[in-house]
Amino acid sequence: MQIKKNRLIARLDIKGENLIKGINLEGLRVIGSPNEYAKKYYNQGADELIFLDTVASLYGRNHLGKIIKSAAQDIFIPITVGGGIRSLEDALNVLRVGADKIAINTAAVNRPELISEISNTLGSQSVVLSVEAKKIKDNKWEVYIENGRESSGVDVMEWIKRGEIYGAGEILLTSIDRDGTGRGFDLDLIKLATESVSIPVIASGGIGTIQDIYKAITHANTDAIAMAYALHYDKTTFNEIRKKLNSYKINVRNFNNDE
């Protein structure tokens, strides 16, 4: 039996033509060119890239076509794209410019059947259910939509279970409370999520140190880590992360060696 490798993913939040980052999904600051950073992380050894159009749901469609088309010419790892995808046709358009997977959040909460429509056509491996979670009390989190701006009233654990039934292939789980803080993951959130579904869970929101990644993998059993703040502000690099995790006997891909 093949032992799973924990994936290390760079997350790039985009507004207009800029890579941005905020705290708790607010107070967004411009970081730089998304393509330059995408190429940098690819060269460092990222396993995947996630591009999220943070304002797409406001305008009703994804605006990353030009950025993704450019990135896909130089980057040969899986690319996930989310934001403003409201129909199967929207998903197909994003795939045509070079994406490998589709991430959906707001539209899926509003109409869960969209998950099945995309999954049945493209395969579940192409569908990532993006979930923005805000803690409301102990062991209870609520799904937020519109890039963390609006409460949906939906319970996170119930929603990810439904998402798996509808055909999502994996979950991108972002803690709004920890996003951009560097205070570490919400391990309770991640652990409960990984215990609630059988599909992979990508943990996002809160990385400050490599130890945070180690805890998410060992204590919360996450399948993958999506990083933004720690990478954008040079708190660490993929090379440093891989070396440290290897020293902890964590199973991650050796850069330039997929065996």
* Neighbouring-strand partners of residue 104: 129
Q: Is 259 a catalytic residue?
A: no
Is residue 258 pLDDT above 70, yes or no? no
Q: Is 48 a catalytic residue?
A: no
Q: Which pLDDT value is given to residue 21?
A: 85
**Cα-Cα-Cα-Cα dihedral sign, residues 212, 218, 221, 222:** positive
Q: Which pLDDT value is given to residue 257?
A: 43
Among candidate residues 48, 53, 90, 132, the one labeled active-site is 132
The pTM of this model reads 0.94
**Beta carbons of 121 and 147 less than 8 angstroms apart:** no
Both structure tokens of 227: 């990083």
pLDDT in tens, 5-20: 899 999 999 988 899 9
pLDDT in tens, 137-164: 999 999 999 877 788 999 999 999 999 9
Is residue 26 pLDDT above 90, yes or no? no
pLDDT in tens, 205-241: 999 999 999 999 999 999 999 999 999 989 899 999 9
DSSP label at 143? E
∠ CA 211-213-216, rounded to 5°: 110
pLDDT in tens, 85-125: 999 999 999 999 999 999 999 999 999 999 999 999 999 99
Among candidate residues 13, 48, 212, 223, the one labeled active-site is 13
What is the average per-residue pLDDT within 180-190?
94
Give how far Cα 175 sits from Cα of 183, 185, 194, Å.
Answer: 11, 8, 14
pLDDT in tens, 28-81: 789 999 999 999 999 999 999 999 998 776 566 677 889 999 999 999 999 999
